[in-house]
Each structure stands twice: as structure tokens, then as C-alpha cells.
Chain A
Amino acid sequence: MTFFQDSIVAISTPYGSSGIAVIRLSGENSIEIVDLFFKGKIKLEKVKSNSIIYGKIQENKHIIDDVLISIFRAPHSYTGENVVEISCHGNMFIANKILELLLTKCRLAEKGEFTQRAFLNNKMDLTEAEAVGDLLNAKTNFSHIAAMEQLHGSLHNRISKLLTSITDIRTLLELEIDFLEQDLPFIDIKEIQEKIRAILIELENLVITGEEGLILREGLMVSLVGAPNVGKSSIFNSLLETERAIVTPIPGTTRDYLEEAISLKGYLVRIFDTAGIRNTDDSIEKIGIERSFDIVKKSHKVLFIIDGKENLEEYKKLGELIDEQKIIKVLNKADLFEKSEIDNFIKKNYIICSTTNKNGLESLKEILLKDIEISEDQLHKGILSNARHIAAVKKTIESIKIAIQSIDDQLGFEFTAFDLKEASSALEEIIGIVSTDDFLNKIFDNFCIGK
């Protein structure tokens, strides 16, 4: 007997970078859920129990990662339910991307929930369960307060406001349904639809939520700019050599520039070695340089590299393309300079670096991550909730769209109300509250009801 019918998912390995990351699902439908995103020689549903299969996880035919998938069918699994374990490359970005994808079909496991299920499904006795240590944690961590703490205040406010807007509309609909023949203001359903549309726009904005969220999700874009032969490529290569290079999940375009991705302290960092931004008459070179412009404009950080000669003209030009705060000035080949000269560059805010003796590379890396000031702990929570939040907001958007459609189709207020209720529930998951559907109080407080 299983106690639960819903499938749960979580990244089971620690956050940050590691050799591999494991994403685990448990629940009746876990195999079919993964099948939706899996491409291998055979469907997972056909795979024998307790075996491993190689394949790809993809989203709309776009490959996210090469993975190994282990299938454990109920009751012969850790939890006693169908369990799928996806081993992907040990990069936070990839693991989160896969998690995010799966969260559109199942929910995030609470802490200790796998163990709790194992216990409830007779897969382990109490001592074992307590030894795992999760069970006690499970009790405190199930608390919705914990879920609330995972949210940044501003995001929490934004979601709360959205929820209030939806609730207000739901209240109006309920008022219309249950309190007819009252002398109440006429409710224009088209006006309500406009209000729902406004909510949709706000929700869509929420998905693209701020630079920081984007960096976490899409990676930090760093481009290298400088005159030929200043050592751009060697810095590029050094960064790759000293950090784990990963398969970039973003499909490559024409290579007028080189793009590689590394995992830096768990962050995805995408490095672009550009063709530079200098003026040129060469028409082929021009195309490359125009592309560099685009890359530079999109970058979160630009390494402006010199090898001794200050290139003021190009620096000025760079300043026209992007905010100067994003520029990191780098003196390369520092091993060729006297200390006094170097001090001079330091005064001018150059990062001193040498690819020959690897000096300065560490400070360069630190500076790259400087503005993403999230502690390990915050990062953990932030990322975790991030994927969950995005999935929840996407669910909300889906319901809101159906609600808008239901008004066009003139289905009836109760159907629109139903869609909006689903929308509310999805949003409530984010801020960890359970609605009491307290419409009656709102109605009695605000409208004169009763014959």
C-alpha cells in the first residue's frame, strides 16, 4: 500500500559543483514523468527494474544534458514507490534546469520526504529512519514557515500582491454566484477579464525576475575584449584549465567568437572570447566585430585586457557599449613588468594577472562573482526555491490563461472562478500559505448582504 499518489522530486546531491548530480523522483507516475523529457534507445517504461539506461534529457528537442537513469519499480525501491534517479553532470545550472522541467509535472519534495515515504511504505523501521536523521527534520521542515523564509522579501510581496488581486476577483465572482438579487454593484465580466489580463502580464514579468535570477538560471556571461595578442586566449584557456569545463547547454552559433562554459563555485559562467571591438576596414573582420558588439552588450561582465599599453580609445568605445561598472580592467603578462609599474596599474584599478605563472587568476575569478553576493546557504535556498517558484508561476500562468479564455467562451462565472482558484493555489505554493477561501468574510465585510 502506498500512502501518497503524488510524485515528488528533489536534487539529492549537495548543491554546488561536483562530478555528478543526482535528481531523484518518487511516486506512482515518476517513470512516465521522466519519460516525457527522456530520449534514449527505449522508453523508460520499457526499461527493466533495477537497471541503468543512458540517454538525453531534453526540453522541446533541445538537449539539456547527457544522463544516466536508474529505474526502481515499486515496491523494490528506497521509498517503496516507483523511483527514478537521474545522474547528470554535476553542475548546478544543469541540475536545476532538469529539476525545473520535472517540476512542471510533479512537486518538489519536502526535506526528509523520501525517507518518510520509505518509512510509511514499510521500507525501513523507525530506528533506521531515525538513523537517516531526516525524519525528525521532516517534522520541522514541513512547516510552511520554512517555505516562507526561502523567499526574498520583495518577491514575497510581489506574489502576495498578485494573490490579493486574484482573490479580489474571486470574491467578486463568488459574490455574484451566491448573493444574487442583492442590490449590489453590477459586475462587468469584461472588466474582470481585463483585470485578469493585467495579472497575467505581471506573472509573465515575474518569470523573468531580475538580473540575479537570470544569472543563476542562464549563467554569468563574461566576454573578453582587447587588442590582438594581449593574451585574451590565454586567459580564456587558463580559466578553462583551472575550472571544470562543462558542456554548454546553449546551442552554439557561428563561431566568430569562442564560447565555453565553466562551473565557478557552482555558478555557470559562460566565457566569450571575442574578436574585439576595434575599428577595421576588413569586411570579413567587420562581421566578426559586429558580433562582438552584441556579445559585449549582453555580457554581465567584460574583461578588458591589456598587456601594458593602455588602450584608451578602445576602453572609451567599450564604455559606450556597456555600463562601466561591468568592465573589469585586466593587466596581463604581469610577469614582464617591474613592481613600480604594476603598482601604477593597481592604482588605476587593474587586476594584475599572468597566464604564464597563473598569478592573479584567483582574484579575477573572485571579482567575476563579486556582485552575485549570495552565501552558500542562501544560494542553496534561493536556487531550490527558484526552480520551484518558476514552475509554480508557470502553472499559475497556465490557469490564468484558461480563465481568460473561459470568459471569452462565456462558460459561466463558476468556471472562471475554478481556474482562478487553481491559479491561486499554485501561487500559494510559493509563499507557503494554504488558503482558507475566506470569501464569505470578505463579502460580509465589504458588501451589504441580505434581504
Chain B
Amino acid sequence: MYKYDVIVVGAGHAGIEAAMASAKMGAKTLIFVIKIESIGRMSCNPSIGGPAKGHLAREIDAMGGVLAKAADSTGIQFRMLNQKKGPAVWAPRSQNDRDKYSQYMRYELESQTNLDIIEALIDDILYENGEVIGVKSNLGEPYFAPKIILANGTFLRGIVHVGNVNISSGRSGEPASEKLSASLIKLGLNLQRFKTGTPPRIDIRTMNFNIVEKQQGDDNPQGFSFYRDIELKNSVSCYLTFTTPQTHQLIQRNIKKSSLYGGFIQGTGPRYCPSIEDKVVKFASKDRHQVFIEPEGESTFEAYVNGVSNSLPPDIQSQIIASIPGLEKAKIIRYGYAIEYDYIVPDNLKLTLEYKKIKGLYCAGQINGTSGYEEAAAQGLTAGINAVLSLQNKEPLLFDRSQSYLGVLIDDLVTKGTTEPYRLFTSRAEYRLFLRQDNAAKRLMPLGYKLGLVENVRWEKFQKENEIFEREIAKLKNTNSTINEGLTQPLRYIHLLKRPENTYDDLTKFGYIIPADLTESLKSRITLEVKYEGYIKRQLMGIKKFEKMEHFKIPENLNYMSINSIAYEARERLNKIKPISFGQASRISGVNQTDINALMVYLKKQSL
């Protein structure tokens, strides 16, 4: 008989982090995957990062997750985006070798102690007395564990659509998980349908390189992981071209043949990632749309045609590709498709990602209505950590909106819910000036270390870096310039660094000696903290205020429906979400300040 502490269903970006965190924390862990070669599959474009997502990747890394290391190790092009904006929103991004990424992840899982991998399709959740006890595979084999983490991605009753054809499938070429949904509904979970899509892939050798715009990686590639002894390299370029009026006419003419517009799809798709049909229909006045050609790896000629995700029949897809300058003769290797799948309405979940009504059942990733590898990984990490903490009867780990994008993501999902596949944006974070990619380690690594997720070698490196940071800040604050060219009197170095025109290296002109152990990344972090001190202080004041409300707890088993002084609608929402603090309660839509005040008064009355 198979007995484990934690079972993870699905080995995508969420499942991997969940299983790794769980095993690292000492729990005997089992992870299921439908097809062993698909571990860590990048189902959409072969890329990690971008605004908010890059931030998240660095946070996952700081917590001891694997996504960032995998991205760095298998990256084939690196860019720091948003450099012309401001330092709080600089965003690292990588193009990755799709197959190597998968292999890297498979190797990570296989190398991890306490962790078993089994290729199987899970059909059923086993439970007793409101608690899960295990799962059952389609071969009828039961596997037992008190903690189950569902990370099924788009596999729950997944349907792939191409034109008027639809195939039961969790991802092109892989079977859907048909029976698990029924098992979840039986447990009382609220399932809804979302839709997403993917574009065709072409053979890049059939592209006309002369008429597309080349996009190269940064000269000084910066990755995601804190432990920067991975050599980052740019081995490929991406290419930019555009759709044409001809493309748009083609789509308009054949719009009814698209699964999306032909009425074959009910699920809601993401607005930030529309299909080309949607773009052409909703923004008819635009005469062109961007198309990025992204190589899929170093050992293949396959390339991802980013920008033309669609669900049109294959012949139309071929014509669309041919209508794009540079792709006139391009050969399609895989067709694009739309996919519909079940997701769990996330207000069913606690901030630990445990299902509220059944002890031990956790859900993470796309199954919770999100999209994106980083968002999935972040949830996997959260669920994995909390499953083990709960097993050990320890306090849960709740990420806080003011301390990480991880916190923003989870709180948004659980407290606010989502009406389309959820993606993180920096604008979702109230404390964006504090939640920067450069200080992710500082914000989170101590937490990760305490949980046993961060290796000693990284931790030591981190502490060393902190020491240097503190030492240099003190030096800047306490010492005066010794070369005073252009100055009327010696000034503290910190004042010189505050001046907009001075960089850290410029301080040498005033006599500052830059020590050998001061890395470029530390220099830029110190510069940022000094130059933006005023803003950071203002942000921290906001955070202080926010935390007061977060620490103001609400008892867990409160029956809101009996509190007559709260508006009925608000009572229903509160009862559904069951917020843990006044801070969380105040973010629930339909709950206003009046209700919050009434709740305060009610709780006070109870305690008298």
C-alpha cells in the first residue's frame, strides 16, 4: 500500500514547486504526472518573466523555489525590460529552451530526496469525515496521504478546439482528466469554465530573416536566481513582424469558422492575452498587430508565433501565417488551438490554498483560475509549504500583500476572486515601490530559510551580501568626501549619491573607494534605496497602516449571517470568504466601511 504525507497531482509549474517544497521540508511526498516527459512543460510561450511575473520569479527563488534556477539554467535569451521606466518596475525576462526546461525540472524532481514520481492519471479523491485520505488512479490503485495538492492545470475536462473540431485533451497531444471533476463536484467544489489559447508554431528556417526585425538579448544578461553562479547566455534572437490588412480580412471572412466565434466555446478567456480573432474583431480600426517569432530551443527549429493565438481551422491558419511579412513561405509544425477547462472558483479556498470545506485538500495553479507559469509556481509553493506546516501542526504561512507579489496574488485570488484567467500585473500591488525585484531576497529569503527551503550556501551568500550592504550604507552616511572638486565644502557621500546626476561609481571622483566585494547588483540596490529614500519612506508608512488592519484578526468560525447590523449582501460575502483579518475583510467586494465598522462593534460586544 502506498502511504505518503503529501500527494501532488500534476507536475507542471505549480505541482513541481509544491512537491519540491514539501519534500524539502521533510514530508514524504508523491507527485503524479500524466506523461513523464511533460514534467515542467511550457504549454504556452517558452518564456519566463516580464513585469510582475519577473518579480514573482525572483520571489519564488528567494523562497527556495526552483522556477528561477530552471529559467536561468535553460535560458537562451535574457532581457531586462522596462529599463526606461523606473527601477521598481524593471523586469527580467528570459526566452527558454522548452525541452531543456522540462528536462531540468524532471531531473530536479528525480534528484530530490523524500520525493517519488509516478506516471498516472488520477480519477478520484478519497475522503472520510470531511478530510481527504488519498487519491485513486484510473487503474484503480489507491494512494494514501492526509494532504492532497491538486495542480491539474488545464487538464480538468480539458477540450482542445480547432475550428469546429474538438478533442478531449488537457494539452495538445495529452489526455484530459475527465473523471476528477466529477469527484470534485461531489466534494462540493464550485467548478467553472475558462478558456485560453495558443498560436501555431513554425519551422524558423522557412522564415525570411531579411524582412523581420531582430531582437537581441542584453549585453549584460541578468537572470532570476539569487545564486548567480549559473552562466547566463544569449544564444538566440527573437524576431518582430506584423499582421497585415490581408490577415485581418482573412480572419473577418472566416470568423464563423473559428471555435471562439462559431459558438463552440463557452469559457471566458483572458483579455490581456486575446486571440487574433478577438483583436481583429474588437479593435477593427487597428491595421496591424505585432507578431513575435520566438525560438523554442537550441536543439530544434521550431518557433513560437507569438501574437496569433487562434482557434481557426488548419487551412485558415496556414493562410494567416502566409499573410504575415516574413512568414510568406513559413511551414507550420503545430497548429494553434483554444482550450477550455474547469477551474475551481478560488473563493472556495483559504489563504493557505486549502479548500475551506475539506481538510487537507489544497489547490494550486491554473486550476484556481490563474494563468502563467510564475503565478502557478507561486501557488504551488504556497500550497506545498502550508500542507507540510499543517501536517506539523504549525502556524500557516500567509504571504502578505505589503511584503510580496506572492501575497498580492494569493490574496487577490482568494479575497477578490477573478472573472477571467488571472494574471499578475504590477498595478495590482499597492506597495509596488517596495516590492521590487532587486530586494526580493531581502524580503523573503529569511522566511524561506526558516522553513528549510533555502540551502546553506545561498543563505551564507545572502548574509554576506547583507553585511556588505549595511556596511556601505553606514559608510555613505558617516563619511565625508575627501576630494571636493565643485563642492564648497566636504559633504557626506550619501548626499552626493542622492544627487540625480551622480551614480555610485561617480562617488570615486569625490574620494570614495569602492571595495572589491561590492557587486554591481548591490551597487544598484544601494543607489536605488538612497536616491528614492523619500518615496520608500512614504511607501513604508502606508505599509505600517496596512499592517495594523491585517493584524486585527477575526475569529475563524464567525457566523456572519446572524449579525443583523451588517448589510445582507455583505454578510453573504463575508460568510463565503471568511476573512482572517479586518484588512482582508475590507478588500472583499460588496463589503464597505459601514459593514466593517458594524463588524468591529459586533465583535467587541461579543468579547464584553
A-side interface residues toward B, CB under 8 Å?
A: 3-6, 116, 119-120, 125-126, 135, 138-140, 142-144, 174, 176-183, 409-415, 418, 422, 434, 437, 439-440, 444, 448-451
Contact = CB atoms under 8 A, between A and B. Distances in A.
B524 interface: no
Contact of B88 (A143, A176, A412): A412
Contacts of B592: 143-144, 434
Interface in B410-440: 425-428, 432-433
A178 B271 contact: no
Contact of B535 (A6, A183, A415): A415
B334 interface: no
27 contacts: A4-B548, A116-B597, A119-B601, A120-B600, A126-B608, A139-B598, A142-B597, A178-B51, A178-B425, A179-B272, A180-B81, A181-B292, A183-B288, A183-B289, A411-B535, A412-B88, A414-B85, A414-B89, A415-B88, A418-B432, A437-B427, A439-B427, A440-B272, A440-B427, A448-B289, A451-B292, A451-B307
A125 B286 CA distance: 65
Q: Which 9 A-B pairs have the closest CB atoms?
A: A412-B86, A448-B283, A444-B271, A178-B425, A174-B427, A451-B306, A450-B273, A183-B290, A451-B307
Nearest to A437: B427
A412 B600 contact: no
A412 B87 contact: yes
Given A414-B88, A444-B272, A178 B426 contact: yes
B51 A410 contact: no
Interface centre among B273, B545, B594 (most CB of A within 10 A): B594
Interface string B74-95: 0000000110011111000000
Given A138-B597, A183-B290, A414-B433, A449 B272 contact: yes
Given A3-B552, A409-B500, A440-B427, A450 B274 contact: yes
Contacts of B565: 139
A180 B85 CA distance: 10
B532 interface: yes
Interface string B102-120: 0000000000000000000
Given A126-B608, A178-B427, A413 B601 contact: no
Nearest to B243: A183
B279 interface: yes
Contacts of A4: 548
A414 B608 contact: no
Contacts of A450: 270-274, 279, 307
Contacts of A135: 601
Contacts of A125: 608
Interface string B233-264: 00000000010000000000000000000000
A260 to B, nearest CB: 45
A441 B106 CA distance: 39
Nearest to B290: A183
A177 B539 contact: no
B605 interface: yes
A414 B432 contact: yes
B408 to A, nearest CB: 12
Given A139-B597, A177-B82, A448-B283, 5 more contacts: A139-B601, A181-B292, A410-B500, A449-B274, A450-B271
Contacts of B52: 178
A413 B600 contact: no
B604 interface: yes
Contact of B290 (A410, A411, A440, A451): A451
B392 interface: no
A411 B598 CA distance: 42
Nearest to A1: B552
Interface in B267-285: 270-274, 279, 282-283
B289 A418 contact: no
Contacts of A449: 271-272, 274
B488 interface: no
Interface string B440-465: 00000000000000000000000000
Nearest to A2: B548
Given A142-B597, A440-B427, A415 B272 contact: no
A174 B426 CA distance: 8
Contacts of B85: 176-177, 412-414
A5 B81 CA distance: 39
Contacts of A174: 425, 427
Contacts of B393: none
Contacts of B292: 181, 451
Interface residues of B, number: 53
Contacts of B601: 116, 119-120, 135, 139
Nearest to B308: A451
Contact of A440 (B425, B544, B597): B425
Contacts of B598: 139
B422 to A, nearest CB: 11
A144 B593 CA distance: 8
B600 A3 contact: yes
A244 B316 CA distance: 88
- Which of A144, A183, A413, A444 has the most CB atoms of chain B within a 10 A radius of its CB? A183
Contacts of A451: 45, 273, 290, 292, 306-307
Interface in B562-600: 565, 592-594, 597-598, 600
A5 B545 contact: yes
A1 to B, nearest CB: 10
Q: Which of B86, B282, B593 has the most CB of A within 10 A?
A: B86
A119 B605 CA distance: 9
A290 to B, nearest CB: 49
A402 to B, nearest CB: 9
Given A418-B539, A450-B279, A413 B89 contact: yes
Interface in B504-556: 532, 535, 538-539, 544-545, 548, 552
B294 to A, nearest CB: 9
B594 A143 contact: yes
A178 B605 CA distance: 46
Nearest to A178: B425
A418 B433 contact: yes
Contact of B594 (A142, A177, A448): A142
A386 to B, nearest CB: 22
A415 B289 contact: no
Contacts of B538: 418, 422
B272 A411 contact: no
Contact of B426 (A140, A177, A409, A411): A177
A69 B150 CA distance: 63
A126 to B, nearest CB: 6
Contacts of A422: 538
B89 A412 contact: yes
Contacts of B594: 139-140, 142-143
A411 B427 CA distance: 17
A125 B604 CA distance: 10
Nearest to A183: B290
B440 to A, nearest CB: 16
A68 B532 CA distance: 42
Looking at B427, B597, B600, which has the most chain A CB atoms within 10 Å of its CB?
Answer: B427
B532 A411 contact: yes
Given A412-B86, A414-B86, A181 B608 contact: no
Contacts of B81: 180-181
A103 B16 CA distance: 53
Contacts of A144: 592-593
B327 to A, nearest CB: 15
Nearest to B305: A451
Give the one of A183, A418, A450 with max B CB within 10 A. A450
A181 B93 CA distance: 12
Which of A125, A179, A418, A422 is the most central at the interface, judged by chain B CB atoms within 10 Å of its CB? A418
B227 to A, nearest CB: 27
B605 to A, nearest CB: 6
B272 A177 contact: no
A344 B598 CA distance: 65
Contacts of B535: 411, 415, 418
